[in-house]
Amino acid sequence: MSGHSTYEPKTGFERWLDQRLPLIRFAQDTMVGFPTPKNLNYWWTFGGILAMMLVFQIVTGIILAMHYVAHVDYAFASVERIMRDVNYGWLIRYMHANGASMFFIAVYIHIFRNIYYGSFKAPREVLWLLGCVIYLLMMATAFMGYVLPWGQMSFHGAVVITNLLGALPVVGDAITTWLWGGFAVDNPTLNRFFSLHYLLPFMIAGVVALHIWALHVPGNNNPLGVNVKSKEDTVPFHPYYTVKDGFAMGVFLLLFAYFVFYNPNILGHADNYIPANPLVTPAHIVPEWYFLPFYAILRAVPNKLGGVLAMFGAIGCMFVLPWLDTSKVRSMRFRPTARLYFLIFVLACLVLGLCGAKLPDDPVIPGLTSFTLVDSDLNSYVWLSRIAALYYFAYFLVITPILGLTETPLPVPESISAPVLSHPATSPAGAVASPEKRG
Amino acid sequence: MLRKGFALAALGLALIAGPAAAATTHEEAKDVHWSFEGPFGKFDKAQLQRGYKVYREVCSACHAMNLMYFRNLGQPGGPFYDEKYPNPNDNPYVKSLAKDIQVSDIDSETGDAIKRPATSADRFPSPFPNEAAARASNGGALPPDLSVIAKAREAGPAYVYSLLSGFEEAPAGLAVPPGKHYNPYFPGDLSSFWTGKGPAPKGGFISMPPQLAPNKVTFDDGTPSTVQQQAKDVAAFLAWAAEPKMEQRKAFGFGAMIYLLILTGLLYVSYRRVWRNVAH
């Protein structure tokens, strides 16, 4: 923990327990007294939101597992039975399905915030790496969860993604067969996916605990990216950030509730309400929206193995980011050039997502035929995804390392309290509050 | 091996996204107003009752609804819900509707296969004993189960309505294969059947012939029985069947939204109050 413990046992029992298992001290130091920079903005609330979503997913998932039947002949009907005959089953299932999407919305904002404010830099590399591991586990969990309803997209998505491993030289076929538990995606595959889908969230929870531990050793980064210098720079986590995170969670829950109650199927795909049929391939196999950027990178490479390597490489780049970034300045508030490249990076990710949802050969500008380059018309989504994918990799491998050496950052403030604050205190510290005026 | 080859073919299709898939076209579903749209929309009970009649008298000859039980018709939000019968199995209207339908069973005394009148606890019976029989009776095509069809197609009930009311004469220059029917709302690729001028028409060939006709179904409430009305009513019925808890969901959602708004408002006020004396 950063700083020494501020916990003082007050009762006899607390003193007794503190000498044996300092559980209350741990909770107090972690969630109550933890000194937190006082200038964290709303982008910092997504950590708490993610923790909340993980709890939602685990709780709703455990209830769903009580009613779900992991068998190719019954899975689809059992999911619909949950929607129709289980008390509030529609609520539990729609919360779980849309919760996955909300989880990814939050995690993407969390990751982008991290890159923008340079939170991954020393001394928080391990914190960042653990976050990357959580993200990987989330992707595996979400992918296997999407297979469980055993609709058309479930099945054919599973076929496409598991077949990717077959592209690996020599061991590819053996790995795919081992993963399937047979020679095609079938009942053994569904069973093991269900088993792993139940296991992985608890692994995520474990890594989240490490993630929070690794956060509490160096403490939070902050929008200025400067280190905490004195007690003046921080406030205790409770009540300052419990209430701010709580408010952000409320806003996030309103968005979540909109999807669950008023548009529960908009983020899914209609084809997944058709029971899986190995003999009928949907015209257009697309993954869930949160995988679309990686799907676009996969398809951007004309070679199957190359595509698979590019897709995994795109995630691999994230892992090594702390060692690719040469800039000593954390926050992009003081790196105007980096900020520009970062905004283009966000745009490239969104464009990749768009390309992943489109057919590669469809024209970006309808009606315009330009000229064929390599294998398709230049005016096509596959070429757009190639340009965006190129930028994606260039951002990590070229721009980030070079920019840190060449750019001239703006002057960085001495401390968090030093610069002119955006929200000065509305009454002098220590003044008597006038509750009738504010809040 | 065949399945593996098939899986690889699927992958190949996904990777290169075959031009055949890119050429699939259909008309946009018609713009329909539904009573169940919007955050407060509810199903029109009379429409659901008419829609059930269309399903029962027309569609059910070929299309199963395996997820539906007769009791569903009498549950809250259903077409024949009656407050006097909170347990839909007791609803006399549902019971009498079920009784008109024969379902297969096993005689518990002799073990013989028998037919008996359905009860409200019975599933809607399938029109065909198995898939092969269904295909044999329909020129090789399989009539899809309609339980969740309104969720399983883009545009949902509007698509069902457009398809059922959208059959038209094939334009000159379009060679319609025997046993197929042109429908502009059915996704397909007509380019190889097209010899007319300009691009091939949107739409596809469907194995189902036009099913609805004026006055084919007599509506007990006196609603004029046009093709449009029948199509719209059965589409509404199928929307309810696909999402029978929709009204409950929206009502619950309204309460949840109010609760969350108040909670979020209180949290915001608390936030401002807690942070009042901190420059940040």
Cβ-defined contact of B252 to A254 (cutoff 8 Å): no
Chain B CB within 8 Å of residue A264 CB: yes
Cα separation, B192 vs B20, in Å, equals 11
pLDDT (mean) for A396-414: 95
In this prediction, residue A419 has a pLDDT band, given cuts at 50, 70 and 90, of low
- What pLDDT is attached to residue A438? 41
The token pair at A237 is 């986590």
Question: pLDDT digits over B167-215, tens only?
Answer: 999 999 999 999 999 999 999 999 999 998 889 999 999 999 999 999 9
A-chain residue closest to B40, CA distance: A262
Cα separation, A372 vs B46, in Å, equals 57
Residue among A94, A422, A427 whose CB faces B276 most closely: A427
- Work out the burial of residue B195: count CB atoms within 10 Å of its CB; fewer than 13 is exposed, 13-18 middle, 19 or more buried: exposed
pLDDT (mean) for B30-36: 95
- What pLDDT is attached to residue A437? 42
Residues of A in contact with B15 (CB under 8 A): 298-299, 304, 307
> Residue type at A29?
D
- What pLDDT is attached to residue A425? 65
SS3 assignment for chain A: CCCCCCCCCCCHHHHHHHHHCCHHHHHHHHHHCCEEECCCCHHHHHHHHHHHHHHHHHHHHHHHHHHCCCCCCCHHHHHHHHHHCCCCHHHHHHHHHHHHHHHHHHHHHHHHHHHHCCCCCCCCHHHHHHHHHHHHHHHHHHHHHHHCCCEHHHHHHHHHHHHHHHHCCCCHHHHHHHHHCCCCCCHHHHHHHHHHHHHHHHHHHHHHHHHHHHHHCCCCCCCCCCCCCCHHHEEEHHHHHHHHHHHHHHHHHHHHHHHHHHCCCCCCCHHHHCECCCCCCCCCCCCCHHHHHHHHHHHHCCCHHHHHHHHHHHHHHHHHHHHHCCCCCCCHHHCHHHHHHHHHHHHHHHHHHHHHHCCCCCCCCCCCCCCEECCEECCCHHHHHHHHHHHHHHHHHHHHHHHHHHCCCCCCCCCCCCCCCCCCCCCCCCCCCCCCCCC
Cβ-defined contact of A421 to B267 (cutoff 8 Å): no
Return residues 80-109 of A near B (CB < 8 Å).
Answer: 80-81, 83-84, 90-91, 94
Res. B245: pLDDT tops 90: yes
Return residues 85-104 of B near A (CB < 8 Å).
Answer: none
Cα separation, A373 vs B22, in Å, equals 19
> Residue type at A259?
F
Cβ-defined contact of A438 to B256 (cutoff 8 Å): no
Residue among A90, A270, A435 whose CB faces B153 most closely: A270
* Cβ contacts from A onto B, under 8 A: 171
pLDDT (mean) for B81-90: 95
- What pLDDT is attached to residue A373? 80
Residues of B in contact with A264 (CB under 8 A): 249
Chain A CB within 8 Å of residue B41 CB: no
The token pair at A383 is 């070429």
B-chain residue closest to A429, CA distance: B277
Query: A257: distance to nearest CA of chain B, Å?
Result: 7
pLDDT (mean) for A65-80: 98
Query: B38: distance to nearest CA of chain A, Å?
Result: 8
The token pair at A425 is 């205190």
Backbone angles phi, psi at B44, to 5 degrees: -85, 110
Chain A CB within 8 Å of residue B262 CB: no
Cα separation, A7 vs A19, in Å, equals 13
The token pair at A212 is 């929070």
Question: pLDDT digits over B113-170, tens only?
Answer: 999 999 999 999 999 999 999 999 999 999 999 999 999 999 999 999 999 999 999 9
The token pair at A98 is 């849309």
Give the bridge partners for A78, in sequence order: none
What do you get for the CA distance between the two ends of chain A, in Å? 33
Q: What percentage of chain B reaches a pLDDT higher than 70?
A: 92
Return residues 108-137 of A near B (CB < 8 Å).
Answer: none
More reliable by pLDDT, A97 or A432: A97
Give the bridge partners for A11, in sequence order: none
Least confident of A118-127, A425-434, B76-85: A425-434
In this prediction, residue B100 has a pLDDT band, given cuts at 50, 70 and 90, of very high
Question: pLDDT digits over A163-222, tens only?
Answer: 999 998 999 999 999 999 999 999 999 999 999 999 999 999 999 999 999 999 999 999
Return residues 107-166 of B near A (CB < 8 Å).
Answer: 144-145, 147-148, 151-154, 156
Query: A128: distance to nearest CA of chain B, Å?
Result: 26
Mean pLDDT, chain A, rounded, equals 92
